[in-house]
Amino acid sequence: MSSSEHQLATAGELAVPDELTSPQAKLVYLSVLVTDEAKATDLQQMLDLSKLTLFAVLESLAARDLIRRTGDCYVCR
């Protein structure tokens, strides 16, 4: 696979669901996606979001069945 084909494949894997319109939701979703498994504290530090904002976004993503909680981590479905 050429490097340009690899970049396209990687970009396709990082697609944001169309239903996400909020920039924060898109950012949190992509962060969980690229980290494979993310703790809320790690996301909070990485994204510089307040806990209140982060947990509201995580709850919204989970309600849409885009992510799920596994113990103390979040993963994409």
Q: Where are the domains of the chain?
A: 27-77
Is residue 7 pLDDT above 60, yes or no?
no
Question: C-alpha dihedral over 37, 45, 50, 40, to 10 degrees?
Answer: 20
pLDDT confidence band for 1 (50 / 70 / 90): very low
Residue 60 has pLDDT above 90, yes or no: yes
Which CATH number is correct for 27-77, 3.90.1150.10, 3.90.230.10, 3.30.950.10, 1.10.10.10?
1.10.10.10
CB contact at 8 A, 30 and 16: yes
pTM over cut 0.85: no
